[in-house]
Chain A
């Protein structure tokens, strides 16, 4: 599952969404997929604290996480992931 976490931490939208698609194709649990994205988000936060990232990267991470939720909801036909 680290492909998703790593792509998210790098704020690479294309690779992040690709990793989500691959996990869906493998039939993985949508909640686990989002948990992995959240681990990527956590790394973004750690990099912010370490000053490797700054405020705009936090904005980018916010938008990317919303896209992850949207992708999982749409592609797994789950409706809302609570």
Chain B
């Protein structure tokens, strides 16, 4: 058992450093599918961290294990308590059979950029939470992460399975676009781009500090960075370079300098921007790509510089067959190579994924990786 523990960690370390491990490490970002397979309600999975962790553990054991688990047990608590967003939960706001939903709602106004500049990120978030009827002081959010620590210890120390997510750092532009909605952000870029930029600059250091603090509390060096809203699907190169990339660079540099491993979670199409990723810290970050980005092209541009992660499609896991998953995984590993690569599902395993398909992802990783 201890040998296996060390191997998973070692595989991840070598992959992040763009080396070739004994085999390609495998991670699975598992959410409500685990609830289905364990026979617990979606409501319990979303809102009871311990039950969620137990459900993931059941799947982990039934599938023969993989190399790192994502901390999906934090999911509902984070969304319900810390996120200034309208979130609807299964078994609370609608019937059980569907995952939680984040409603597109402009909780932040164009005038609120001034609050961000004056008071910072947590201060603004607390105001926005209050607007949504959530009486929470975001500056005390560490209590939430302290409550997660026994579960992290269980996985990391008792089971010896690395946990692949501690805190989170959102790019300021991504955060504001969530609070303002896309339409709101388009309005702001048209009317007061300078104010958007000023606010993004003003909250940058605090965003990093919050993510690092949460990661330290749970003892996990992987920091999740959701970047999808800053992709080439949504932004031109000019806007990306003006509003996003300087912060992306500063965040990754600071996290790496402080001993963390940034997970750049890059949904949608990033191919036009991949060239800029060579300016990010070398052999220290993980780039999580969806099938919308050509991962083979990413390897050509970033091989030896950044660990790639991905990208077995959601549709394949829910509507495909084990044979099609196996074929995809083999081809993926052959295309991307075994150096600096983590085999994983795209984004989140869909709640209606077939058990045998996800198991095949893991088995194929072990066989061909």
Contacts and interface: CB of A to CB of B under 8 A. Distances in A.
Contacts, number: 39
Secondary structure at the A interface, as helix, strand, loop or mixed, is helix
A58 B116 CA distance: 27
A53 B272 CA distance: 12
- Indicate the member of A56, A60, A63 with the most B CB atoms within 10 Å: A56
Given A13-B191, A57-B236, A59-B186, 13 more contacts: A11-B190, A53-B236, A54-B232, A54-B233, A54-B235, A54-B236, A54-B239, A55-B234, A56-B185, A56-B189, A56-B235, A56-B239, A63-B183
A11 B187 CA distance: 11
Interface in A39-73: 51-57, 59-60, 62-64
B368 interface: no
A60 B189 contact: yes
A63 B187 CA distance: 7
B60 to A, nearest CB: 38
Contacts of B186: 56, 59-60, 62-63
A62 B182 CA distance: 12
Nearest to B235: A54
A54 B234 contact: yes
A57 B237 CA distance: 11
18 contacts: A13-B191, A51-B272, A52-B237, A53-B236, A54-B232, A54-B235, A54-B236, A54-B239, A55-B233, A56-B186, A56-B189, A56-B235, A57-B236, A59-B183, A62-B186, A63-B186, A63-B187, A64-B190
B190 A13 contact: yes
A19 to B, nearest CB: 15
Interface residues of B, number: 16
A32 B236 CA distance: 30
Nearest to B229: A56
Contacts of B234: 54-56
A54 B237 CA distance: 9
Interface of B: 182-183, 185-187, 189-191, 232-237, 239, 272
Contact of B236 (A52, A59, A63): A52
Nearest to A62: B186
A-B pairs, top 4 by smallest CB distance, nearest first, are A59-B186, A60-B186, A60-B190, A55-B234
A51 B231 CA distance: 12
Nearest to A48: B236
Nearest to A16: B190
Contacts of A59: 182-183, 186
B187 to A, nearest CB: 6
A2 to B, nearest CB: 21
A57 B263 CA distance: 28
Contacts of B183: 59, 63
Contacts of B237: 52
A60 B183 CA distance: 8
Nearest to B232: A54
Contacts of B182: 55-56, 59
A57 B234 CA distance: 8
Contacts of B236: 52-54, 56-57
Contacts of B189: 56, 60
A78 to B, nearest CB: 24
B326 to A, nearest CB: 35
Contacts of A53: 236
Nearest to B243: A56
Contacts of A51: 232, 272
